[in-house]
Every structure is written in structure tokens, then in C-alpha cells.
Structure 1
Amino acid sequence: MSEPARPVERLGGWGRRAFLNFVRGLIQIVVAYAAGLPLFILTVLSIAFIPLGVGVFLTPVMVAALRGVTNQQRLWAAEWSGVAIPLPYRSAPVGPSGRTGPFRRLGWLLGDPATWRDLLWSLLNVPIGLVLGLLGGGLTLYGLEGVFVAPLVAQMADYGWGPFWMLNDWGATGYAGTFVLASALIAVSVPAGTVALKAHALFCRSLLAPTRGALAARVERLAETRSDTVDASAAELRRIERDLHDGAQARLVALSMNIGLAEEMLKHDPETAARLLAEAREAGGTALTELRDLVRGIHPPVLAERGLEGAVRALALSLPLPVDVRIELPGRTDAPVESAAYFAVAEVLANVVKHSGARRAWVQVEHDGRRLLMIVGDDGTGGADPARGTGLRGIERRLAAFDGTLAVTSPAGGPTVVTMELPCALSSPRTSPSSGTA
């Protein structure tokens, strides 16, 4: 038995569009007055209260609420009018413990130009949202009022009911004109309403999208990361070629030679032939091991089978020092992002083992809805600096290929905390996150 159609689906094409325009226009008005205007007032007051101390904690709450409204507006603009509005916000700072202090968070929010543009939008959207919302949804309603209510008023005037007796002199011509104008208004209300909603979406994009300067910086950054990615890929290919040439290929050549010599010595000197075959078998096993290690260096099988969480836990178990692992991922990322995240964590942990002198390390991986956050720390001697090498520059280039970032906090004497971020989405949701110690 088929599911009954909803009321809006029972309407014809024109009726459905008119109904949607009315609802969407009404939503814009309600958002402007019930959400945008109060948030503008409260945000301005919270900023004014910063010298009193309470604003330090109240302002981030108000800004987060305002961003929630503007993010919803971005979704509506894309869904209703096909106007895409990218997110312009800067990445949040992360402290050594994975948390951000109130003053640092406040500085990040107030230092982001997108915060002030959101605030300006919430104010300007009050009159603009009202006008365009009325045009988007009110034209149809006003036309329907002229078609159905005007004849009723005329009939009441004919009978002298209530205050409508004064319209008695209007006559049939006046009511007919009203009916014709109202019908014409209904006919144009749908395209006019659609144009009004699109105009509102374009207005929102003018304030809520990244500025041209930000886009230019973004393009320049992408050009730099593309060049770094190409160089890193070429270096990786050279490494693979070198490992194959100096390792597995050389052993396979020796294996072939030993087997050939064994064939020649088999009839005349069986003992030497047996020794050569034993050496060939050993060389074959070594070559196979080297090939497996090489494959793991390209894409570990455990990463494909168990995802980032399983691969990081397996990596932590293989290290010669205890590593506390806490991973909260409700799903998996795309394979290239997952691989970049794994190798970034692996390289940082390799640096911990080689250079830090640490007795203990820890790894935290989580996803906040927009980005993958990876934090690796240790209790070693500190002093890590990307400018001095130690593999951190390579990690930075690897992450930059996916618009990711790397930040290092490593004072002399330790501890060292490396924070890595990768913008990405998750798929394949899991039932629950897990945590533990490797």
C-alpha cells in the first residue's frame, strides 16, 4: 500500500511553488526578527561587557549562536535558490592539551573578519529580510485575498452589513477591476517570489561568503600546496624506485643467479647445489619481506581493513614506548585523506622515538563535524622545530595537499605537542567511539 501524499504534494506545480515561496518568505522574516535581531543585540552587549569579564565567556556563546543562524542561512540559500555560500571562518586554535583557553578563543573569534560580517548581516537582514520575505511569500497571499475576499466584501456591502455599507457605491466595475488585478498578481507571484528569494540569497552571499582578498589568498595557498604536493609525489616515487632497485630487485637478481648456478651444479656437486638453493630460498623470503614493507609504506593493509582508528592503534602497539590512544570517530573519511592522516601521525610518532627521548606519548584523534583533528604529544626533551627538519616539514607538505595545517608546541625541556587538522567529512557511521591505551 503506497504512502499517502503530503498536502503540499497534492498541489499542482504552480500551487506547490506558491506554497513553498510563501513558507520560505515567512521563514526569512521570522529568522530576521526572532533570531538575527536579538542575536545582534546580545552579541554587541556581550562584546561591550568584555572589560567587565563576563563578556569573555558570553561573547563566544553569542558568536557561536550567530554562526549557527548564518550557517543555516547558507544551507537555505543553496537549497532554495542554488546560491552556494562557502564557509569563511578561520580554523580554531588548539592548545597543548587539545583545548583552547577563553582568552585565546575570544581573540580568535574577534580577530576573524567573518565574525563582524556575520554581525553586520544580522542587522541588515532585518529590513532586507522583511522586504524580500514579503515579496517572496506575500504576493500570492495578497492576490488570493483580492480574488476570494473582495467578492465577499462586496456581497456584505450589498446587504449593508457592518462597516461595508460605505462600499456600496463602488459598483461592479470596481470589484471586477480588483478581481482582475488580483488574478494578475497571483499569476506573477510565483516567478516574482522566486526572484525575491534568490535576491535574498545573493544578499546573504555578499556578506556571508569569503571576501575577494580571502579567496585570492586561498588560491595562492592552493597553488603553493599543489607545487609542494607535486614535489612530494616525485620524491615519493624516487624513494619507491630506489627501494625497489637497491632492495627487492637486487635480491631477486641474486636469487635468479643462485638458481641458475644450482641447476648447473646439481649433477656434478649436489651439496653445493643444495647450499645455493638454500641461499636462494632465504633471499626470496627476504625480498618478499622487503616488498611487504614497501607496500605498507605506500598504503598499509590494516588501514584499508580497519580504518584510521585500527591502523593508529596497531602502529602504537609496535612502538618501543607506551602510547595512550584516544580516538573518537563516528565514521571513516575518504581513502586519500585517511592515508594522509595515518602517515602524518606515523611520522610524528617516529620523530618521538628517534629524537625526543620520551618515556611516554599520547595520540588523540577526533572529528568535530568539519575537520579531522589529530594531536600527538610526548613527555620528551622538547625543542622540535619544523624549520630544522626532523620530518615535520614533510608532514606539513603532506597535510597542505588536503588544505590541512600543522602546529607545533615544543618548548625546551618539553613537552612536545603536534596538532594537525584536515578538513574533511565522515561517512560510514559507526555505533560508538572507543578509547584506550596501546
Structure 2
Amino acid sequence: MTDALGAWRARVRRAGGDTAVGAAIAAGAMAALALFLVTAYFVTLFVIGIGAVALPVVTKGVRRLCNLNRRAAGRVGVPVAVPYRPQPREFEKDIVGWMRRRQWILTDPATWRDLLWLLLDTAVGTVGLLPAAVLCYALEGFVVGAGLWRPLLDANGTGWWYCFITVDSRPSALLALAAASGLLLAWPWTGRPALKAHAYFTRFLLGPTENTVLASRVRHLAETRTTALDTQAAELRRIERDLHDGAQARLVSLGFTLGAVERNMDRKPEEARRLLREARESSVLALRELRDLVRGIHPPVLAERGLADAVRALGIDSPLQVAVETDVPGGLPAPVESAMYFSVSELLTNALKHSGADRVEIELRHGQDVLYARVADDGRGGADAGRGTGLHGIRRRLAAFDGTLDISSPVGGPTVTKMEIPCALSSPKTSSS
């Protein structure tokens, strides 16, 4: 009984939200007509220069309204991607830049699809009033059935027409109350279908076309290719620097020490033995630095045991309490395994250094040609991918493989990071867990 009551309350709350969103969509439909007329007016006047002045301002308002409707569609499970072409990084601060900005707006196909949506939404957007209309009509039935029909009957002698019922007596008032109760019970189920219908209409006109998706894909690949090349160059410089300042310097020092040993072998045997001990210690340190360098390029455990065991080794080495759950097959591409491994490693480091967490949960799985990872900690939260280099570096690392990073980190925690990398297997699935 308690569960049923809780479910009903949750449905009523959701219906209230749907009703508010629907009313906002209907209000936006009225604004859409005004925006369409204003935009069409300034586009028409563009040829004589007057419209060119106001066009960017009007376009900003149009796109803001369209984006609000895209978000409303996503709220009911119909995601609509933003199809606009990216704005050039900067325009010249002269008449050429001024005209290029207008050209960028007018040559974007999404601009014209926005205008068509504005025109049609003046009619289609009224569907958002359905849940509010049902609720108001139900409330009207309660008011009429509760006794309002009496003064209405006294005023005109005909009663009140409600749901095919002429309310002019006590029995008809009870029928009106019953009809109003039915409408009120049906109200929570009216908002979502209406909003979804409008969402599909919005996606049809405001979503990206195939050509837009292809162009966006090409831009993304070009950007990630540049990022991957920059990252690779930076990594090679780091390796060169570490070799030059670390192992190479020790090996050079080792050579000088062995030369001194050779010179003192006969004349000063004690000094030669001391220098041999130093040489042995230097060789151990050089070997350790080389191993650390190799581990930073491609950890041996990752090459020998695979991603699942490599991540488990990260958890064992971490001072935090790390729980690892994996369902990762064999046959993953080595670059993808390496990218995911170092991304998880960076997140563990962030949890240790910045979040104040005590426990971290790591989940790894592969399905539908996507490698998925989820890292959650119980720290203080507040992580922002826009600040610092750690999370930004992870995003760039994943983007090189067309991967994504999604982080939720409200102040007070917890921090939950989700990563996905599209990848197909090169061999039949054999779970390592």
C-alpha cells in the first residue's frame, strides 16, 4: 500500500512538471510566431542593409527558444542534438568581419529550419496545453458539482454544460463530480504523450540532418586528429626529457665511475671497490627509472594480463579502498586498453589527491562494441572538467578514439565519472573476470 501511494505521488509530481513544461511550450508557441515575423522581416530587409544590423540579435533569440524546446524534448526521452555550425573562433573587427558574421548565420541550413519550425510551432505547440487543459477542466467540474450550478440555474434557468452533462440538479451535479474525478485521475497520463508528440516534431525539424551529422563528424575527427598528434608529440618530448635527465644521465655517470675503477684497480683497490659499489647502485637506479618510464608508456601488467587485471592492480596499489567489478573480454585493441587504463589511473589519482575520498568503485564492461567504465568515489565533489588539466587530459585522450567523458560531481559529493570508447573486438569474447 505504501509503495503504491509513493508511486502515485511520484507520478503526480511528474505530471505537475509535465504540465508546467507543456504550458511553457504553449507560451513559446505564441512567442514563436512573433519571432518568425520579426526574423522574416529583417531577413527581407537584409538586402538593403537594415536587417543586417538586427539579424544577429534576432537569431540569438530564435536559437535560444529552439534550444529550450530541444531540452524539453530531451526531458521526455527524445534527445535532440544541436545542429548549428560552429561559430568561427574570431571575426575581423571591420566590415569584412561584420559581413562574415551575417554570412555565417544565413548560410547555416539550421537557421532556415529554425524559421520553418517557428512558423509551424505556432499551431503544433498548442498541444502542450493539453495537460493543463485537462487539469483545469477537472477542477471546473469540482467547482460546478460542488454547488456552482445553483446560481447558474438561477441566472439563466438552463444550468451548466459539463462533459455532456447538463448540471441543473443534485443528481446531475454528482455525475459532474464523478466525471471530474475521472479526468483528475486521467490527468497524470495526459502530459507525457503530448510532450513526446511535440518532442518528435521538434526533433524532425530542429535535429541535425544527415549532412549536418556528417559535417560535424568530419570536424570532430579533424579536431581529435590534431589533438592526438599534439598529445603524441608532447608524450615523445616527455619520454625524451625523462631519458635525458634520468636514465641517460645515470648511465653516463656509470661510465665515468667504471673508468675511475679501471684507473684505481691496481693502485687503490679499496677506492676501486667503493666505486664499484656506487656503480652497482647507479645501475639499479637506472634500471628502476627505465622500468618506470616503460610503465608510463605501456605498463607490463597491461600487456601481459589485460585491462581488467591491470585496473585491479591499480586498485591494489592505491591507498584508498578500491572495489573493482569487471566484465571485459579479450581481444580489445591495445591503444584502447591503454587509453582506458591511464584514464582510470588519473581518476584514482584525482580521488586520492583532491577529493578526500575513502572509497572508490570502478566498473568496467564491454557491450555493443563499446568499452564502458564508471568510477565513483565518496569524496567532497566539486570536480569540474573545465578547470585543471587532469580531467581535460582524460577527455582529450578519449576523444582521440571518439570516446566520451561524462562527470557528475555536485558539491558535497559523490563524484561519478562515466567513460565510453567505441571499439570492436578482434577475437571471441572471453571474460577475464
Name the TM tier (shorter chain).
0.5 to 0.7
Aligned match of 2:387 in 294, 315, 332?
332
Aligned match of 1:38 in 28, 34, 56?
34
Q: How much does 1:59 deviate?
A: 1.3
Separation of aligned partners in 2, 1:161 and 1:260: 118
Find the counterpart in structure 1 of residue 155 from structure 2: 162
Matching of residue 179 in structure 1 with residue 177 in structure 2:
yes
Residues 8-28 of structure 1: CA deviation (Å, up to 9, x unaligned): xxx944553443333222211
Q: How much does 1:213 deviate?
A: 2.3
Q: How much does 1:223 deviate?
A: 5.4
Point out where structure 1 has 5 or more consecutive residues left out of the alignment. Answer: 1-10, 299-303, 305-330, 342-397, 404-423, 429-438
Question: Does the 8 Å CA contact 2:167/2:176 hold for their aligned counterparts?
Answer: no
Residues 48-90 of structure 1: CA deviation (Å, up to 9, x unaligned): 11122111111111111111212222233334x2433222111
Where does 1:50-199 land on structure 2 (aligned, <5 Å)?
A: 50-79=46-75, 81-94=76-89, 97=92, 101-130=97-126, 132-156=127-151, 160-166=153-159, 170-199=168-197
Letter in 2 for 1:86: A
Q: How much does 1:256 deviate?
A: 1.2
Find the counterpart in structure 1 of residue 258 from structure 2: 260
SS at match of 2:28: helix
Compared CA separation, residues 108 and 333, structure 1 to 2 (3 A):
farther
Residues 281-332 of structure 1: CA deviation (Å, up to 9, x unaligned): xx99xx9xxx9xx9xxx9xxxxx9xxxxxxxxxxxxxxxxxxxxxxxxxx73
Question: Does the 8 Å CA contact 1:36/1:126 hold for their aligned counterparts?
Answer: yes
Letter in 2 for 1:24: V
Separation of aligned partners in 1, 2:183 and 2:193: 15
Separation of aligned partners in 1, 2:388 and 2:240: 31
Compared CA separation, residues 119 and 180, structure 1 to 2 (3 A):
same
Question: Does the 8 Å CA contact 1:140/1:190 hold for their aligned counterparts?
Answer: no
**Given the two structures, how large is their TM-score scaled by the length of structure 1?**
0.54
Aligned match of 2:209 in 198, 211, 214?
211
Letter in 2 for 1:218: S
Point out where structure 2 has 5 or more consecutive residues left out of the alignment. Answer: 1-7, 161-165, 298-349, 351-385, 411-433
Separation of aligned partners in 2, 1:143 and 1:162: 23
Name the count of aligned residue pairs.
302
SS at match of 1:88: coil
Separation of aligned partners in 2, 1:225 and 1:28: 36
Residues 362-402 of structure 1: CA deviation (Å, up to 9, x unaligned): xxxxxxxxxxxxxxxxxxxxxxxxxxxxxxxxxxxx9x959
SS at match of 2:78: coil
SS at match of 2:59: helix
The sequence identity of aligned pairs, in percent, is 31
Letter in 2 for 1:67: R
Question: Does the 8 Å CA contact 2:149/2:167 hold for their aligned counterparts?
Answer: no
Question: Does the 8 Å CA contact 2:46/2:52 hold for their aligned counterparts?
Answer: yes
Question: Does the 8 Å CA contact 2:149/2:159 hold for their aligned counterparts?
Answer: no
Q: How much does 1:234 deviate?
A: 6.2
Compared CA separation, residues 334 and 46, structure 1 to 2 (3 A):
farther
Compared CA separation, residues 217 and 333, structure 1 to 2 (3 A):
farther
Question: Does the 8 Å CA contact 1:337/1:402 hold for their aligned counterparts?
Answer: no
CA RMSD after TM alignment: 5.0
Question: Does the 8 Å CA contact 1:92/1:108 hold for their aligned counterparts?
Answer: yes
Find the counterpart in structure 2 of residue 28 from structure 1: 25
Q: How much does 1:219 deviate?
A: 3.8
Letter in 2 for 1:260: L
Q: How much does 1:241 deviate?
A: 5.7
Question: Does the 8 Å CA contact 2:43/2:55 hold for their aligned counterparts?
Answer: yes
Separation of aligned partners in 1, 2:259 and 2:110: 74
Q: How much does 1:113 deviate?
A: 0.8
Separation of aligned partners in 2, 1:67 and 1:334: 32
Separation of aligned partners in 2, 1:73 and 1:198: 12
